[in-house]
Structure 1
């Protein structure tokens, strides 16, 4: 369209590409004039992908995961293999934006940062749901391969990501999407999260408001392990507990294990069990991490709320003092009768924890259990 002009800021793009070791590239279109450019960017991405595919670079260059941000739409070039192909993609992308009447700059996407009150580390531990979703068969992979990726079936991944955004979003929230942290007002980032976790093995979103303080987060990490958390100065612990419990029970038939405990704000992975309170009774966090195959039968510790399988319950000592609700498909929600003893404060009552560990003793992970059940990885 006459008068439309799109500038490609190659110096910034090439610097970001080099920083990513020439494997991928986060790009942003910063429009001039009207900020309504999301649909145009989606269309231009599709046209540019087709153009480089037609030119023979389709295996080397591909972009997807368009999402909004404060300064303009952002997308991930998840395959950025050759400079000639990458430059051709950007040329086709800019040309199509111009034909749609858009002007602006195509540059590297900047990272956004949390406000100081959250990033300073002063926020106390929050109620967090740890969820282990069912994966594809990992037995055919070697140890390094199975640790690096998400491994959850694609259709289920899309459902989990969409449900996470629906669960966490609230009116007036700033939206922070990572791995490359981008701030937006658009809460609909499920597709971008799903694409990100398929590519990198990790992805997440945080919905945040500073006054009054409130944030929710969902973080997906390798081996189908995900964390959901809530902090809200206006909500009681009971309301926050109910919210994280909803997240962890959204897909019971596709879940191997889930539980709620206090953990640091914005917990990104099960690796944070290393510093969570109370400490695990028999093993270290790395024992849990490296023995993913035992999630369906064993738990790292007893908790006030857990989603467990038939195989878990078969190894319990005595659950007569627990509320057990069948969720179908051999899955059960197991809850303490007095949740206040578990979740009103960061640390559960010592007597309560000791009794629970006795009740669940047969299913709590130990070094002996690990030795008897080695992982099936090649």
Structure 2
């Protein structure tokens, strides 16, 4: 019994990772008769030269996602792993995961995006802090809320007919039953562009995506090009309601998925001051979920639909969602002409000092 090595595909993946300035390469190990072979692959890797440090194995389904940390001698290390597995009595193959290793193409069309910030424990203003007095980045969401969030994210992102993966540039294939235990450990690492996403297995644009950032931030995007933008915004708004008791803030706004451009991303001031998220908002958006602390700072919300959706949680939504989410031309969003600048200016007046400014942030720095 032997485990074969697909040298051609691995060589191609190594070249791709080197172009991305990655020192390692992702592999996919399939063993006959084993749906989740990670334990066997881990045991085999530990028998190779310096295997405990050179290999990472994740408990994926249908094969074992395996990372070789140093590709300088991959053409020796991979056959060595295959030989150990063969000597253990296994047959199968070592190739590469189906997931495209390149970044997803940026969208040329803006989509309604749900932005959620979960409550963290301990609160951000309790530290730990870095040398500049800024809270150190961490996930921070209590385990029960994280479990609810991940379970929902997996069910929401895995659209029928697609394949799903989690990661940044390096992506691990996931299925509905194994995604939560695969994502959870990644939240404890340095969060940078971590996302759960679904795509057609044949390639192409993202279908749905959930991004994760420090202090309980998530972005949920449904890239349904056939849907009416206003209907999509209303559907996306449900995410805020589903998680309302666990949130300290939420919003729905337009973004260009896969790019740095957006109609209203959270401002740099907002993102640098997580200890103020439960009392201030980043800007005036068409849909927001806020607390009583937020509402106490509003100037006049009589032109808005304000609905209590959970204890101390209110949904503040525009009466005309189309004015916020249905541009006549996508370019109007990119040029900041949609929503109408006058509409945005009035909304900012309505929200008043609820919106976080540089001056407020400077005056309310956390005390390490």
Over the residues paired in the alignment, what is the CA RMSD in angstroms? 4.2
TM superposition score normalised by structure 2: 0.75
Equivalent of residue 60 in structure 2, options 63, 67, 76: 67
1:360 to 346, 351, 354: 351
Please say if residues 116 and 240 of structure 2, whose CA atoms lie closer than 8 Å, have aligned partners that are also in contact.
yes
2:29 is aligned to 30
The equivalent position to 2:360 in structure 1, one of 364, 369, 378, is: 369
| Whole-angstrom distance in 2 between the partners of 1:318 and 1:337 | 15
| Alpha-carbon displacement from aligned partner over 1:264-301 (angstroms, at most 9, x marks no partner) | 2136xxxx5xx432588xxxx32112111111000111
Distance 1:208 1:109, change over 3 A: closer
Give the structure 2 partner of residue 322 of structure 1.
Answer: 304
- Give the deviation of 1:259 after TM superposition: 0.7
Structure 1 position 97, deviation (Å): 8.0
How many aligned positions are there? Answer: 342
What's 1:171 paired with?
Answer: 160
Tell me if 1:308 matches 2:290: yes
Cα pair distance change 1:27/1:109, threshold 3 Å: farther
- What are structure 2's unaligned runs of at least 5 residues? 71-75, 328-332
1:113-124 alignment, distance < 5 Å: 113=102, 119=105, 121=106, 123-124=108-109
CA contact (8 A) 1:127 1:241 kept: yes
Alpha-carbon spacing, 1:134–1:311, altered in 2? closer, same or farther (3 Å):
same
Q: What secondary structure is seen at the aligned counterpart in 2 of 1:356?
A: helix
SS of the equivalent of 2:234 reads: helix
Gaps of 5+ in 1: 82-86
For residue 238 of structure 1, what is the aligned residue in structure 2? 230
TM-score, normalization by structure 1: 0.73
Shift >6 Å, 4+ stretches: 6-9, 11-17, 90-94, 106-110, 210-214
Cα–Cα, structure 1 residues 111 and 340, in superposed 2: closer, same or farther, change >3 Å? Answer: closer
Aligned counterpart, 1:84? none
304-313 or 333-342: bigger deviation: 333-342
| Stretch moving more, 166-175 or 141-150 | 141-150
Which of 211, 217, 220 is 1:225 aligned to?
A: 217
Within a 5 Å distance, the mapping from 1:1-378 to structure 2 comes to: 3-5=1-3, 27-31=26-30, 37-39=34-36, 41-44=37-40, 63=56, 65-68=58-61, 72-75=63-66, 101-105=90-94, 112-113=101-102, 119=105, 121=106, 123-137=108-122, 138=124, 139-143=126-130, 146-182=135-171, 184=173, 186-188=175-177, 189-202=179-192, 203-209=194-200, 215-266=207-258, 272=260, 275-277=261-263, 285-345=267-327, 346=333, 347-376=338-367, 378=368
